[in-house]
Chains A and B, each alone.
Chain A
């Protein structure tokens, strides 16, 4: 309805009211109301269609389906693989270290025995028995040292090789980070369809916070052991 039409109707309405023609006045009011309502309905209809199109578009976006169907379950498997790899590497490294520690203890003890044999031994006046005992200890120790050096070499190389998980797991985790970014973008779009703004909120707090991550965790987290000690000593520990 144009402005002129509305103005004409308004004049008619005033005239009807002045003449006391109640029924005619009511009819004009009805016409005006209907015109207002139909505009409102048109607007609601337009918004509904837009919302519908936006949601359809979102659902038809193949990327979303792909994310839900393939990539997220895939990422879960990849991350589990990272957990397995780190576990396996830690086991190998620890195995190598435990054997190396025991070899170093054994070597130290044996060196101590040789030193004990040498203690107070005068090379010029040593008895053949003393010399024979020292030679036997030395022979046994050099044999052990040679054998231990070989074993240490093997075990340390194993520990070295076990670190390759870092490269592999780093690559896998970077792929998953990319996926998380994709999902984040889609979620932002979904939020914008619903007409809300994305605001930086307070992150959810779980019962356990787990290891602190630099740059993310702050607030009531204590930075290191010294802070923990200070807090405990302030509590009378």
Chain B
């Protein structure tokens, strides 16, 4: 797995972005960028060569699920792996995210080990 891959972290709370960023740094991924909602994230993804997206669900402006759907419907981005990290833990929501093409779903509060495990799993599957 390329440790230098460009990752976008999307969350409206700067604290959460910092936590995820630090966890990723600890896991060896230092090429991280941040956006505070889907509206900011989408143009960044469209104009940058991002290889991975970690997004929250509940954000003002454009939500994580809308961002995921926008990514899947954009021919340039449709293959981009998306990991959802969110406090939303309703069965219907998880099913909705899965049907929209999410690559992984982590519920908050989460541990560094869970995040690592999901990232590795996603890239194993992408490589396979």
Contacts and interface: CB of A to CB of B under 8 A. Distances in A.
Interface string B82-103: 0000011111111100100000
Interface stretch (A49-57, A170-178, A216-224): A216-224
B88 A209 contact: yes
Contact of A231 (B19, B57, B94): B94
A222 B57 contact: no
B84 to A, nearest CB: 10
A212 B87 contact: yes
A91 B15 contact: yes
Contacts of A232: 94, 98, 105
Nearest to A91: B15
B26 A101 contact: yes
Contacts of B18: 94, 98
Contacts, number: 60
Contacts of B26: 101
A80 to B, nearest CB: 15
A225 to B, nearest CB: 6
Interface size class of A (residues with CB under 8 A): 20 to 34
Interface in A62-104: 87, 90-91, 94, 97-98, 101
B40 interface: no
Contacts of A222: 89-91, 94, 107
Given A208-B57, A228-B105, A97 B91 contact: no
B78 interface: no
B3 interface: no
A211 interface: yes
B95 A235 contact: yes
A101 B22 contact: yes
Given A94-B15, A224-B107, A232-B98, A208 B91 contact: no
Contacts of B73: none
B52 to A, nearest CB: 17
B110 interface: yes
A101 B26 CA distance: 9
A1 B55 CA distance: 79
A235 B90 contact: no
Contacts of B31: none
Nearest to B25: A101
B81 to A, nearest CB: 13
Interface in B19-39: 19, 22, 25-26
Interface of B: 14-15, 18-19, 22, 25-26, 57-58, 87-95, 98, 105-108, 110, 114
Interface of A: 87, 90-91, 94, 97-98, 101, 208-212, 220-225, 228, 231-232, 235, 237
Given A94-B19, A212-B87, A231-B95, 20 more contacts: A87-B14, A97-B22, A98-B22, A101-B25, A208-B88, A209-B89, A209-B90, A209-B93, A211-B87, A212-B89, A220-B90, A221-B89, A221-B91, A222-B91, A222-B94, A228-B106, A228-B107, A232-B94, A232-B105, A235-B95
Ranked nearest first, the 7 interchain pairs of A and B with the lowest CB-CB distance are A211-B87, A90-B15, A220-B91, A208-B58, A222-B89, A94-B18, A221-B89
